[in-house]
Amino acid sequence: MSNVVPSPAQTIDGRKLAAALRVRLKNHVDVLLNDHKILPSLAVVLVGDDPASHVYVANKKKAAEKVGIRSSVHQLPRETSQDEVLKLLHKLNEDARTHGILVQLPLPKQIDTATILRAIEPAKDVDGLTVQNAGRLASGLAGLFPCTPLGCLALIKSVRPQLAGLHAVVVGRSNLVGKPMAQLLLRENCTVTVVHSRSRDLDALTRLGDIVVVAAGKPGLVTAAGIKPGATVIDVGINRAADGTLQGDVDFAAVARVAGAITPVPGGVGPMTIAYLLANTVAAACRQHELTQPDFSI
């Protein structure tokens, strides 16, 4: 039996990477304003009084303002009708000074999310959730893609710049995270396996991964038994424990003894998601003014 003790995984610092990206963004925003008189602008639509949504929106607004992006929050009461939201989206779509539109999810139950997402002008869809942008991602075209998977890809590339040929396993198949993550990894020439709630033998499937991205919303779902030694593990999950602390989908302490690199929760994917929302807003502003779309990838 080998008595070599495995070294603990490198913790990938999402706060530090996001701060570096914000510096690049701030420089770009300054150039847009000074040289082109363009002030990138983000409109956030928030319906109802979900406390978590209010915190997320406040964080996005603060982050936008820090890099010089103008942000406005359109706060509507919980009982707002679908037509009223559609009317607001129509106005924002037509407003030349608004470059990015984000509808904070979830929406109250009288409003159909798919109908609302369909109403967002794809060129302003900074969450990358319209069918047009999802199709562009799947077809290998340029577009606006979901912020969380963009952030995850940057986190992965910060420790593994060369991804071609690696086996990536994505746990989760939502339109917001799992599916676009799989598409982005395919674009990087990874071999991609998507695991979901109906998959059999989670551990055996995730153990195939040189890269494992977990976005299931199930605390402690992935344990050391599901990780190949040296793998890069990205934990997207945000779960609030009974004592109020945040927990990911990965058993951090145990997996860190096996993995090569791992993101913490909090301080991993969260800050990168917000940074890429800002990057998408700047990219959308550039495209709407027929300027070259900047590349904020790592």
Structure tokens at 63: 């982050």
Stretch of 34-42, 74-82, 211-219, 255-263 lying at the interface with ligand NAD (CB under 6 A): 211-219
Binding of residue 216 to ligand NAD (CB under 6 A): yes
Structure tokens at 226: 């599901």
The CA distance from 268 to 275, in Å, is: 12
Binding of residue 60 to ligand NAD (CB under 6 A): no
CB of 222 to ligand NAD, least distance (A): 9
43 C-beta neighbours (distance < 10 Å), count = 25
Instruction: Name the residue nearer to ligand NAD (CB basis): 82 or 174.
Output: 174
5 C-beta neighbours (distance < 10 Å), count = 7
Among 42, 176, 182, 259, binds ligand NAD (CB under 6 A): 176
Per-position x/- string for 138-157, each x denoting binding to ligand NAD as judged by CB under 6 A, each - no binding: ----------x---------
Identify which of 217, 211, 224 has the alpha carbon closest to the alpha carbon of residue 196: 217
Binding of residue 195 to ligand NAD (CB under 6 A): yes
The CA distance from 283 to 272, in Å, is: 16
Residue type, 165: G
Binding of residue 225 to ligand NAD (CB under 6 A): no
Instruction: Name the residue nearer to ligand NAD (CB basis): 197 or 297.
Output: 197
Environment class of 83 (CB within 10 Å of its CB; exposed 0-12, middle 13-18, buried 19+): exposed
Binding of residue 76 to ligand NAD (CB under 6 A): no
Binding of residue 238 to ligand NAD (CB under 6 A): yes
Binding of residue 196 to ligand NAD (CB under 6 A): yes
Residues acting as catalytic residues: 60, 104, 127
Binding of residue 192 to ligand NAD (CB under 6 A): no
Long-range contacts of residues 192-196, Cβ cutoff 8 Å, at least 24 apart? 192/167, 192/168, 193/167, 193/168, 193/169, 194/169, 194/170, 195/169, 195/170, 195/171, 196/171, 196/172
Binding of residue 197 to ligand NAD (CB under 6 A): yes
Among 270, 278, 281, 287, binds ligand NAD (CB under 6 A): 270
Q: By the 8 A CB rule, do 227 and 212 touch? A: yes
Binding of residue 68 to ligand NAD (CB under 6 A): no
Binding site for ligand NAD (CB under 6 A): 148, 171-174, 176-178, 195-197, 199, 202, 215-218, 221, 236-239, 269-270, 273
